[in-house]
Structures are given as structure tokens and as C-alpha cells.
Structure 1
């Protein structure tokens, strides 16, 4: 089975060790500070990045707020971190993935997301989040997150 292309993605080359970069985006408080819409993240099941671990995300766009439940699907230090996002604990929202490839002097990180919302949820979700074009918004959010990740990783 072929994996479909992501709905939004971006890459950045970072002059830092892949394991150190992985540690940044699997530390939930650090990741929340880097991501565009995320205010906070807390482990709900497990205490670190491992398949099956669950964390909650508190998100904000202006005055709009919402909570998501995220289940880790892949966690390989220095290589990949991925999770599925659900609303109300059961409705699929998205799949997010961070791939790390060694590069000269550091690594290249690719952040990707797949929109998994059912069609019936897209309009209500836009009203809750204030984002009518989620793929375009996510493309910009990924660019900003990766820029912040690069700055954080390269400055220590």
C-alpha cells in the first residue's frame, strides 16, 4: 500500500546532531513553544515519546481555543517521531510526522501532516479554529515551526 502524499510539509537543514534535534521536538514543553497554534502539551499516558503514549494539546488561534488528544505512532530517537491527532478522543483529525535524515554538518528535518478529518467535520472545525483553509495554514505553520526549531537547535 502506498502512503499518500502529505497535505502539508516542509524541510529544513539544521547544523545540529539528529539525536539532539529529536530531543527538542519530543520534549512537549519545547515543542509547544515552537509550534504556531499550540499553547501547551501534557503527557496523559506514558511520560515520554514511545509508541502508544498519549498527550493532550491545548491550542489557540486568537481568541479561539481547542484541545486535542494525540497518540504517538512512531518514536525512533534521531530518526522519526509521529502521532495521530483526535478530537473528543475519537474523531480523527490529522497525522503528524517528523523525519530526520543525516546531512553534512547536521541533519535535515521534514515535518509533514495528513488531514484526516471526515468531510462533515471540516466546516465546524473551521468555525472552532478560525482556519478555513487548513492545508495552507499548516504549510505556513510548518515553515514557522521548522524555522524556530533550527534557531533553537543551532543556538543551544
Structure 2
């Protein structure tokens, strides 16, 4: 294996947290993308396309902010099972994010998942050229740091 290339496992990440609420209540919060700014360390807000909501095929725009830049993303919901799973793809399959809710005692185990598939990495290669590896490493680090921060914030919101 080429020592300069990350493991395939480096391009996905998932973590979980216990939330003192039933799975449907947790799902109702995490599937309301208009609330994303309440818990995301990078996504300041999201807006559904007119008439859309948490259903497969729905679209929304995300507005992201970091100290060095701001950008927008277009997302499409690819899974929406109330009380179970809410997942979306960003910019036509370049990244996948999602939440899963599973009964856990008297509450819910909430899992957030992230995947940066080959299509996303190829896009970064085309867009950033020689800087692609550095830009990819930034996105990987943001996801790995952002997931536990997001989960803790969602727990505070839901239990609040």
C-alpha cells in the first residue's frame, strides 16, 4: 500500500450517543434541517427547497461557515424512515451524512455517520490538483471533530 494514501476507513466515520428521549422524538429533531445551525459546528443553517421536508428525494441548501471561508452545498435526502434513519447526499454524491436512531433502554442511541466516497475524492483531485490531499485531510479532520460535537449539541437540544 502507498504510505501517502490514507486507508479506505479514513473516509468514513460514525459515532453514537445516548439521548434521553424516544427515537421518534430524536428523529423529528435531526430530520428538521432548518435546525442544523443549533448543533453543527460548521453548517450555520439549512433551508428546504419550497415545499420539501424530510422525505426521500427532498432537497435543501446548506450554508457553511469556517473562519477562513463560507460556502453553500446542495443536498438530497436519500433515506427518511421516521424514528429510524435520516440520510442525505451532498453535491450529487460527493459526501454522505446521516443519523440513525435506535431504542436504547428508556431512550435512544443516536448515531451520526459520514462518508467521503471515491466520487468526492476524485472531485477534490480535479478541483484542488496538487493541494487535493491537504484539502481532503481538512474535510476528514472536520468530520471526525464535528461528529462528537454535533451529537453532544443534539443531546442538549433534545433533552433541554
TM-score computed with the length of structure 1 as normaliser: 0.83
2:37 & 2:87 partners in 1: Cα distance?
15
Partner of 2:111: 110
Seen in structure 2, the aligned counterparts of structure 1 residues 131 and 121 have a Cα distance that, compared at 3 Å, is: closer
Query: Which one has the bigger strand percentage?
Result: 1
| Unaligned 5+ runs, structure 1 | none
Describe the SS at the equivalent of 2:57: coil
| Unaligned 5+ runs, structure 2 | 1-7
The 8 Å contact of residues 23 and 83 in structure 2, kept in 1 or not, is answered as yes
Query: Which one has the bigger helix percentage?
Result: 2
Partner of 2:124: 121
Displacement of 1:20: 0.9
TM-score computed with the length of structure 2 as normaliser: 0.81
The 8 Å contact of residues 121 and 136 in structure 2, kept in 1 or not, is answered as no
Seen in structure 2, the aligned counterparts of structure 1 residues 43 and 100 have a Cα distance that, compared at 3 Å, is: same
1:45 & 1:51 partners in 2: Cα distance?
15
The number of aligned residues is: 146
Displacement of 1:124: 2.9
CA RMSD, 1 decimal: 2.3
